[in-house]
Amino acid sequence: MSADGWRRHGRSVESGIVRKQTISNGKTGGLITVFCIVVVVFSFLCIVIADVSADKSYSYAEATDFNIQDAIAAMGNAVNPPVYQQMLMVDYHTYIALADGSPARVTIYRNATDPNYGQLIVFLLNDDDEDTVYTPGQYVCTNYAVDLADDAEQQGIRAHVVYVRLFDGGMYTDHMCNAFYTTDRGWVYVDDTGNTAEAKALRAPGVDCIVDLHVGSDYTPVMLVKVPGWTKYSMGTVVDYKILD
């Protein structure tokens, strides 16, 4: 399977695949996080109560009303922070890894919203993550998908990362792409994976691609901007896929 999927005059370019790493304490990590949040909120409430007791310049009603509002706001931000990172998990025990083997995490902005199709296209045309060189062990499809999602969320566009299982040439392979739920066209799947150094040497264009993603279909990225003389070919048959965030 090819990462960038280029074919020019019958010539294809080799690529790598996404790697998964297994962990055994996924649920434990989640419980620890919840416990830490509870401790922080409890500590904050203790400080608030102490301030109310010590400060005699406020009436009880004024001080209580003011500090309870702050406490509620703090609790809301602790439980539902406006910006936070989320590890990409295939299941409770398996996480998606970046090229260097570290867990892949996306940054979630709670104020991000679903775009319409036109807004999505404008964003993709102005984003240049696909220009980064595909380098096995350093920067692969997972890195592209995470960076595109982070760029979109930062600009107020809700984005998702998708794990794709493919079958090609008698082998199962893994791949990563992105998904956006548009308000006028529903789900749109985007493949932002860029070119290898070899492909760049052949002057392969760095172009965002749209993918028709469903089980049983050929995973064939379609260039958002057509470039004469260049086409993408099928990277395999979609066996399964999962939106991870």
* CATH label of the domain that carries residue 145: 3.30.460
Length of the chain: 245
Q: What is the reported pLDDT for 167?
A: 97
Q: What is the reported pLDDT for 35?
A: 58
Q: Do 110 and 188 share a structural domain?
A: yes
pTM comes to 0.72
Residue 209 falls inside a structural domain:
yes
Residue 127 falls inside a structural domain:
yes
Q: What is the reported pLDDT for 76?
A: 60
101: helix, strand or coil: coil
Sign for the CA dihedral angle at 112, 116, 122, 124 comes to positive
| Ramachandran angles phi, psi of 84, nearest 5° | -155, 165
Q: Do 100 and 74 share a structural domain?
A: no
Q: Do 121 and 53 share a structural domain?
A: no
Q: What is the reported pLDDT for 40?
A: 54
DSSP 91: E
Sign for the CA dihedral angle at 120, 125, 129, 130 comes to positive
Write down the mean pLDDT value for the chain: 79
Q: Do 104 and 161 share a structural domain?
A: yes
- Produce one character per residue of 139-156: b if its CB has 16 or more CB atoms within 10 Å, e if not: bbbbbbbbbbbbbbbeee
Q: Do 53 and 171 share a structural domain?
A: no
- Produce one character per residue of 221-236: b if its CB has 16 or more CB atoms within 10 Å, e if not: beeeeeeeebebebbb
Q: Do 10 and 114 share a structural domain?
A: yes
Q: Do 207 and 130 share a structural domain?
A: yes
Q: Do 232 and 219 share a structural domain?
A: yes
Residue 1 falls inside a structural domain:
no
Q: What is the reported pLDDT for 12?
A: 32
Q: Do 141 and 237 share a structural domain?
A: yes
Structure-derived torsion over alpha carbons of residues 126, 202, 15, 223, reported in degrees to the nearest 10: 40
Low-confidence ranges of the chain (pLDDT < 70): 1-79
228: helix, strand or coil: coil
| Residue whose C-alpha is closest to residue 147's, from 107, 102, 183, 100 | 107
180: burial class by Cβ within 10 Å (0-12, 13-18, 19+)? buried
Q: Do 138 and 125 share a structural domain?
A: yes
User: Which of 38, 58, 82 finishes a domain?
Assistant: 82
Q: What is the reported pLDDT for 171?
A: 96
Q: Do 226 and 123 share a structural domain?
A: yes
Residue 201 falls inside a structural domain:
yes
Q: What is the reported pLDDT for 28?
A: 45
Residue 87 falls inside a structural domain:
no
Chain centroid to Cα 176, Å, comes to 10
Q: Do 206 and 115 share a structural domain?
A: yes
Q: What is the reported pLDDT for 48?
A: 47
Domain with 100 in it: 6-23+93-243
Question: What domain count does the chain have?
Answer: 2
| Residue whose C-alpha is closest to residue 193's, from 135, 237, 121 | 135
Which residues have C-beta within 8 Å of that of residue 17, sequence separation ≥ 6? 1, 3, 140, 141, 173, 174, 175
